[in-house]
């Protein structure tokens, strides 16, 4: 089965509607995932169910992240925020992050993830950040606009196999102080953070540029979506190194070392010595399925 990817909706306030750019959907679909646009809701039970049914979450571009979220007052009347979107993303991110589900952020996505984890933003680059680079390019948006340097030994540099790439760019806010736990992966020539990741999580990546606009003409953009979707695929459980007797559909909290195969077929061990792993063994016919830390592992 294809991994199911929930995509944060785009909001059109003037039209009182939510919508989706096809590039987000196409990027997921072409990479082997099954995308769907999530509803704009603040109902916690609905959000819990939505996150539970997803194998990964894509945080899209959109309105500015509310400065109140990083304890600042808006500097300009031009700051375009939508509190309902902030609330939705906050609840989704908190639950998905706690469950260690793969998360990918694009444009507003990198900004929101940084804020959600305790970082701050430049509210307006032209006003707060002196640079020769205009980070809001003109049409067409599928063309490279400036270069970014990939930081050595980060997952992004290893994925793309280079130390510099050209990216498109359309944003007036950006990461200012990176959140504790987030590591930069790419920096522009004017020293603006362009990509981040959380090395302690299964997959939490975010980029400031727009790979969804460049799928047809940029292999790096396709690689980003493919890596995200691959990270959303379930692990294969090989062994649980813990003598725990589970009854059918009975759930216990256990400390365990779990040997699995990752999406590249490599054997890995998951060990959380300071945290409880939630493990459940369910027998379906002659098959046994382990649900470890909220994920079904076949």
Confidence check: pLDDT of 230 > 80 = yes
Which two structure tokens, joined as six digits, stand for 293? 């830390």
Rounded to the nearest 5°, which phi and psi values hold at 296? -75, 125
Catalytic hit among 212, 213, 214, 232: 212
pLDDT, tens digit, for every residue of 268-298? 665 433 233 334 444 445 555 544 444 433 3
List of residues 6+ apart from 158 with CB closer than 8 A: none
Q: How confident is the model at residue 157 (pLDDT cuts 50, 70, 90)?
A: very high
Catalytic residue status for 107 = yes
Produce one character per residue of 17-30: b if its CB has 16 or more CB atoms within 10 Å, e if not. eeebeebbbebbbe
Place of tokens 């509803």: 39
Where are the strands (E) in the chain, listed by range?
4-7, 10-12, 17-19, 34-37, 56-59, 103-106, 121-122, 146-150, 164-167, 174-175, 183-188, 193-197, 204-207, 236-240, 251-254, 257-261, 267-271, 277-284, 287-292, 295-297
Catalytic residue status for 212 = yes
Catalytic hit among 146, 172, 210, 213: 210
Catalytic hit among 54, 89, 107, 135: 107
pLDDT of residue 265: 62
Residue 59, beta-bridge partner list = 105
Catalytic residue status for 219 = no
Global pTM reads 0.82
């Amino acid at each position: 089965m294809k991994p199911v990817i929930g995509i944060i909706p785009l909001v059109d306030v003037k039209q009182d509607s939510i919508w989706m750019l096809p590039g987000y959907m196409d990027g997921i679909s072409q990479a082997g995932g099954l995308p769907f646009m999530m509803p704009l809701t603040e109902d916690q039970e609905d959000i819990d169910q939505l996150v539970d049914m997803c194998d990964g979450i894509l945080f899209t571009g959109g309105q500015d992240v509310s400065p109140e979220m990083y304890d600042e007052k808006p500097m300009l009347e031009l700051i375009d925020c939508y509190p309902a979107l902030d609330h939705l993303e906050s609840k989704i991110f908190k639950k998905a992050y706690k469950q260690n589900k793969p998360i990918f952020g694009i444009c507003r996505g990198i900004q929101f993830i940084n804020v959600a984890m305790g970082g701050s933003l430049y509210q307006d680059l032209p006003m707060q950040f002196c640079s020769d680079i205009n980070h809001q390019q003109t049409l067409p948006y599928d063309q490279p606009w400036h270069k970014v340097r990939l930081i050595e030994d980060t997952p992004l540099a290893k994925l793309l196999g280079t130390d510099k790439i050209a990216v498109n760019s359309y944003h007036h806010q950006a990461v200012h102080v990176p959140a504790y736990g987030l590591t930069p992966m790419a920096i522009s020539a004017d020293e603006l953070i362009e990509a981040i990741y959380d090395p302690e999580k299964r997959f939490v990546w975010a980029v400031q540029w727009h790979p969804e606009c460049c799928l047809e003409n940029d292999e790096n953009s396709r690689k980003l979506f493919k890596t995200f979707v691959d990270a959303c695929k379930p692990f294969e459980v090989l062994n649980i190194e813990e003598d725990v007797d589970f009854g059918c559909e009975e759930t216990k909290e256990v400390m365990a070392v779990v040997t699995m195969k990752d999406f590249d077929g490599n054997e890995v061990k998951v060990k959380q010595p300071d945290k409880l792993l939630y493990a459940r063994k369910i027998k379906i016919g002659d098959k046994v399925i382990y649900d470890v830390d909220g994920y079904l592992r076949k």
